[in-house]
Amino acid sequence: MFATDRDLLALEPNLFKDIAWAGQRLILCTGSIAGTTLTITPGDADFTAAQIAPGHVALVDGIPYEVVEVLTSTTATISRLRPDPTGPVLPPDAGTGLVVSISSFAPQLSLVHNQVLRLLDIEPSDPDAVPSESSIINARALIPIECVTALHLIYTAAAALATPGSTLWHRVAHYRQRINEERPRVAALIDLDNDGHPDATRRLSTFALLRA
């Protein structure tokens, strides 16, 4: 996947606080923060068992933080949301006896990721496909469309339990509009001969028509 939970957090600061139940819970336990290190007392799983990795989001006493690096099965470097995911770590507030929850929307992101690849005429299920996902040399440019599409999927599922006209349904409409705005901007640069340089530009829902 090009997008991660951290990228969803950048668009929806309350996503992991308000509707984490719509995702997949990986960890629920207690922990402490010292400097930039989160240390947990494993509950249902530790970082290794839950396959926590950079890009996940840890909700600590209701505050979401980026997981920057997993150090051991019980320790990880976390940061406040950074403007640039490769920028310096922004230290969180210290504390002990904190409730730690890590949920993920990776299943939704994976579904959307495969849809985006197919719209670019790349089949993700074919390991011998040419071009392949690795042929896209500007993968970060596809993060916005993956995020807004995943958020539309997430809020649509959550809104199914809400009354018409609720805030959740407003989020569904908002992200439907965002998809329509973002989709025409997407331009995937494709390296067809593995020389590290783009040979073609593909856009979503662009089809080549051949004369019969």
Note whether 71 and 93 are same-domain residues: yes
DSSP state of 27: E
Q: Band the pLDDT of 210: cuts 50, 70, 90.
A: very low
Residue 209 pLDDT > 80, yes or no? no
Note whether 139 and 66 are same-domain residues: no
Q: What is the mean pLDDT of residues 106-117?
A: 96
Q: What is the mean pLDDT of residues 79-83?
A: 97
Distance CA 58, CA 209 (A): 47
Per DSSP, what are the bridge partners of residue 202? 188
Residue 207 pLDDT > 70, yes or no? no
Q: What is the mean pLDDT of the chain?
A: 93
Cα 81 to Cα 12, 32, 66, 114, 125: the distances in Å are 11, 18, 6, 27, 33
pLDDT digits (tens, 9 = 90+) for 16-42: 999 999 999 999 999 999 999 999 998
Distance CA 35, CA 29 (A): 19
Q: What is the mean pLDDT of residues 64-86?
A: 97
Residue 206 pLDDT > 70, yes or no? no
Distance CA 120, CA 113 (A): 11
pLDDT digits (tens, 9 = 90+) for 136-187: 999 999 999 999 999 999 999 999 988 888 999 999 999 999 999 999 999 9
Note whether 128 and 97 are same-domain residues: no
% of the chain residues with pLDDT over 70: 96
Residue 208 inside a domain? The answer is: no
Note whether 91 and 138 are same-domain residues: no
Burial of 101 (0-12, 13-18, 19+ CB in 10 A): buried
Q: Band the pLDDT of 212: cuts 50, 70, 90.
A: very low
Q: Domain residues for 63?
A: 24-104
pLDDT in the model for residue 208: 44
Residues 202 and 190: beta-carbon distance below 8 Å: yes
pLDDT in the model for residue 205: 65
Q: What is the mean pLDDT of residues 101-107?
A: 97
Residue 211 pLDDT > 80, yes or no? no
Note whether 91 and 130 are same-domain residues: no
Note whether 135 and 89 are same-domain residues: no
pTM exceeding 0.85: yes
CATH number of the domain to which 99 belongs:
2.40.30
